[in-house]
Amino acid sequence: MNYNHLIDLNYYSVEQCQEIIELAIKINNNPEKYLDSCKGKILATLFYEPSTRTQMSFQTAMLRLGGQVIGFDNPSNSSVAKGEGLADTIKTINCYADIITIRSPIEGSAKYSALNSELPVINAGDGGHLHPTQTLTDLLTLKIEKGRLENLKIGICGDLKFGRTVHSLIKALSRYKNNTFILISTENLKIPEYIKEFLIYNNCDFEEVFSLDEAIFDLDILYMTRIQKERFKDEQEYLSQKDVYILDCEKLKKAKKELIIMHPLPRVDEIDNNIDKDERAIYFKQARYGVYARMALILKMLESKTDKNILKGNKTDLKCLNEKCICNTEKNIHNFVIKSNNNIYCEYCEKIIK
Cβ proximity to ligand NCD, 134 vs 185, nearer residue? 134
DSSP 280-327: TB-HHHHHHHHHHHHHHHHHHHHTSPP------SEE-SPPP--TTBGG
Shortest distance, CB of residue 134 to ligand NCD, whole angstroms? 5
Burial letters 1-40, b for 16+ CB under 10 A, else e = eebbbbbbbbbbeeeebebbbebbbebbeeeeebeebbee
Phi, psi of 231 (to 5 degrees): -100, 0
Of 265 and 301, the one with the shorter C-beta distance to ligand NCD is 265
Q: Give the integer Cα–Cα distance in Å for 120 and 283.
A: 29
> Do 225 and 163 touch, CB atoms closer than 8 A?
yes
Nearest distance from residue 223's CB to ligand NCD, in Å? 11
**Distance (Å, rounded) from C-alpha 124 to C-alpha 70?**
15
Nearest approach in angstroms of CB 286 to ligand NCD is 9
Of 337 and 351, the one with the shorter C-beta distance to ligand NCD is 351
Closer to ligand NCD by CB, 101 or 335: give it: 101
Residue with Cβ nearer ligand NCD (2 or 266): 266
Which residues are near ligand NCD by CB under 6 A? 53-54, 125, 131, 134, 164-165, 226, 264-266
- Measured from the CB of residue 230, what is the shortest distance to ligand NCD in angstroms? 9
Cβ proximity to ligand NCD, 67 vs 125, nearer residue: 125
- In the complex, what is the shortest distance from the CB of residue 20 to ligand NCD, in angstroms, rounded to a whole number? 17
What's the closest the beta carbon of residue 47 comes to ligand NCD, in angstroms? 10
3-state secondary structure of 142: helix
Report the alpha-carbon distance of residue 72 to residue 78 in Å, rounded. 7
Residue 125 contacts residue 102 (beta carbons within 8 Å): no
